């Protein structure tokens, strides 16, 4: 399952699922503390970062922001 890290609250990581709903994971599901906006693949036990998906998402958001700035 692909998730996007929304924020970290103490020992909980709040992630957005593909359908837009949120899910809370324990920080122990991650090898390292994730940054907000990181795309991760969660297999039900471990959440691993997906650097390619994270980079693509950041590029898409940056393009959208740049278009808005031109208005």
Per-residue pLDDT of 22-54, as tens digits, reads: 999 999 999 999 999 999 999 999 999 999 999
Q: Domain total for the chain?
A: 1
Token digits of residue 29: 């599901």
Q: What is the CATH number of the domain that holds 35?
A: 2.40.50
Q: Domain limits at 13? A: 2-69
Residue 71 has pLDDT above 90, yes or no: no
Distance from C-alpha of 59 to C-alpha of 13, rounded to nearest angstrom: 23
Contact 48, 54 (CB under 8 A): no
Distance from C-alpha of 23 to C-alpha of 43, rounded to nearest angstrom: 13
Distance from C-alpha of 22 to C-alpha of 12, rounded to nearest angstrom: 12
16: confidence class by pLDDT, cuts 50, 70, 90: very high
């Amino acid at each position: 399952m692909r998730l996007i890290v929304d924020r970290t609250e103490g020992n909980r990581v709040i992630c957005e699922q593909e359908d837009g709903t949120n899910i809370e994971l324990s920080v122990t599901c991650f090898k390292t503390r994730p940054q907000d906006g990181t795309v991760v693949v969660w297999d039900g036990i471990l959440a691993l970062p997906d650097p390619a998906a994270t980079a693509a998402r950041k590029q898409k958001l940056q393009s959208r922001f740049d278009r808005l700035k031109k208005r």
